[in-house]
Amino acid sequence: MSSIGVAPLPLESQASTVQGVMWTMSMVPLAFVLIRLYVRVYMRRVFGWDDGIAIAAICCLVGYAAVCHVAANLGLGQHLVVVQKTPDNLIKVALLCNIGETLAIMACTLGKTSFAVTFLRIVVHRWMVILLRFVIITMNIVNILAALFVFLQCKDPRHLWNPMIPSECWPPHVFTNFSLFVGGKSFAEVSFRFVIDD
């Protein structure tokens, strides 16, 4: 009769997978932005706000990949049992994840803003221009708040990556609910773009 017990936890690292996925998911958009810039700057001899915003978005995305790469070297992608053996690394990984979250939010926001600003040049109806500007402004306000709230949800932000530092924080559902609102708004914006395209 075999003994019933708890199987040992798999301790293999997924850090290289995290790094590979993050760099791949950053380099593909980077290639598209570089192609876009080549066409716009060298072939058409124009450079607009949408191009500058696309550059800012790709910089945030590459920054996010770099932060995740460093975090993976410190323990991101490894089982918590392994990472807890070096508590300093656990604190650094948590800090890097918060920085990465902010960069990811801004990369998505700026990418959508760049697309919307490009779209502004081709819409012909005034109501579409007004609606697009409304979407751009509200999307940026909501997402910048989300990026700031990553760090502002505690009076002492260091508590977020080092729970040993005492601080008064918002109830966890506040940031979660706001994040769900941001995601729902993002879905509505994408749906709106499909409606305008028809």
Give the count of domains, the chain.
Answer: 1
Q: Is residue 121 part of a domain?
A: yes
For residue 87, the model assigns a pLDDT of: 81
For residue 1, the model assigns a pLDDT of: 47
Q: Is residue 190 part of a domain?
A: yes
Q: Is residue 7 part of a domain?
A: no
For residue 9, the model assigns a pLDDT of: 55
Which one-letter amino acid corresponds to residue 96?
A: L
Q: What are phi and psi of 115, to 5 degrees?
A: -65, -45
- The whole domain housing 100 covers 15-197
**What string of pLDDT tens digits covers the 198 residues of the chain?**
445 555 555 667 888 899 999 999 999 999 999 999 999 999 889 899 999 999 999 999 999 999 999 999 998 888 877 777 888 888 999 999 999 999 999 999 999 999 999 988 888 889 889 988 998 999 999 999 999 998 999 999 999 999 889 999 999 888 888 888 888 877 776 666 555 555
Q: Is residue 4 part of a domain?
A: no
Give the separation between CA 196 and CA 132, rounded to whole angstroms: 10
CB 160 within 8 A of CB 101: no
Q: Is residue 64 part of a domain?
A: yes
Any idea of the CA torsion for 119, 125, 126, 128, to the nearest 10 degrees?
A: -50
pTM of the model: 0.82
Give the separation between CA 48 and CA 65, rounded to whole angstroms: 26
